Amino acid sequence: MAKLEASYFDLSTLDTLARRDTAIHRLDPRAKVLATALFIVAVVSFGKYEVAALLPMVLYPVVVGALAGLPALTLLRKMLPALPFALFIGIFNPLLDREILLNVGGIGISGGWVSFTSILVRFSLTVSASLILVASTGFHAVCLALEKLGTPKGFVVQLLFLYRYLFVLIDEAGRMSRARALRSFHGKGMGIGPFTSMIGQLLLRTLDRAQRIHLAMLSRGFDGEIRTSRRLQATPRDVAFLLGWSAFFALARFSNLPSWLGRLVTEFPK
């Protein structure tokens, strides 16, 4: 039960962070969504052996997260559940690609290890940027921005409901877990049999709860439109944010900034 309640509060952390009032939070959600999308496209377009060239892209999540006042440890904890997927994708690269690409201190490093490192770096950049977007905007505002940018309304509404339905699912699971704990004595009723029965009951209870919520929404005039108390209106600051970061992404993608800075430093007259 404690784990379920902890999961509930963990899910609501991003919504709590999105209520802050900073320069990043006040930006138009559409500008942040577009900037994040361009950032992700730029990051994933790098070659599999490019690691050093990716390093300048770290500037975006670091700067935006710092200006938004988002705690780095909280974002890191949010990233950890998705880390096994990145590890599973690249863990076999060192075994399949054994060609030596570079030597560091006399130690040969194969292309598999380089590509594996590149996967982890790109995972960290894209996931952190997505978390910063939600934590500085709010999932509701992100869905509204997607709709205004031309995403099909049905997809956006389903995405929003999926996010909100997680809270309903955890709430119902917490109630059932609490009831089972109060009715079990000396560990009885805590085995796999009652647990599988609880899964079926949880599905039925959440479906019933979701139907009641839907009827309540219809009785309050819900017509499929996503509305917020804040009107979306682009300002010069939003345009500058989007164009500035877009120019930086293009510069970092099509010119190797670390290599250029290295040559500049080594060739600088002493």
pLDDT digits (tens, 9 = 90+) for 241-257: 999 999 999 998 888 77
Burial of 252 (0-12, 13-18, 19+ CB in 10 A): buried
5 in a domain, yes or no?
A: no
Region 175-200 average pLDDT: 68
Q: For a pLDDT cut of 90, what percent of the chain falls above it?
A: 25
- Mean pLDDT, to the nearest integer, of 143-159? 85
Same domain, 120 and 246: yes
Q: Does some domain include residue 2?
A: no
Using the predicted structure, report yes or no on whether residue 5 has a pLDDT greater than 60.
no
Q: 137 and 244 share a domain?
A: yes
Residue 53 above 80 pLDDT?
yes
Q: Is the pLDDT of residue 179 over 90?
A: no
Q: Does residue 47 register a pLDDT over 80?
A: yes
Least confident of 22-26, 31-35, 140-144, 158-162: 158-162
Same domain, 88 and 100: yes
**Residue 141 sits in the same domain as residue 111:** yes
The number of folded domains in the chain is 2
Cβ neighbours of residue 193 closer than 8 Å, sequence gap 6 or more: none
pLDDT at 8 > cutoff 80: no
266 located within any domain: no
Shared domain for 190 and 220, answered yes or no, is yes
Chain mean pLDDT for the chain: 80
Domain co-membership, 50 together with 124: yes
More confident residue, 248 or 83: 248
Find the mean pLDDT for residues 42-50.
88
Instruction: Let me know whether 123 and 236 are in one domain.
Output: yes
Structural domain includes residue 57: yes
Residues 198 and 163 in one domain: yes
Asked if pLDDT for residue 268 goes beyond 80, the answer is no
Q: Which pLDDT does position 218 carry in this prediction? A: 82
- 164 and 53, same structural domain? no
Give, in degrees to the nearest 5, the angle at Cα 98 between 93 and 104: 100
Range of 157's domain? Answer: 152-227
User: Worst-scoring range by mean pLDDT, 6-20, 81-95, 104-118, 244-258?
Assistant: 6-20
pLDDT of residue 228: 63
Question: Does the pLDDT value for residue 202 go beyond 80?
Answer: no
Does 218 share its domain with 242?
A: no
In a domain, 263, yes or no: no
| 41 located within any domain | yes
Residue 13 has pLDDT above 90, yes or no: no
Q: Is residue 130 assigned to a domain? A: yes
* Residue 21 in domain: yes
Contacts of 114 (CB under 8 A, 6+ apart): 48, 49, 51, 101, 102
Q: Looking at the structure, do residues 115 and 212 belong to the same domain, yes or no?
A: no
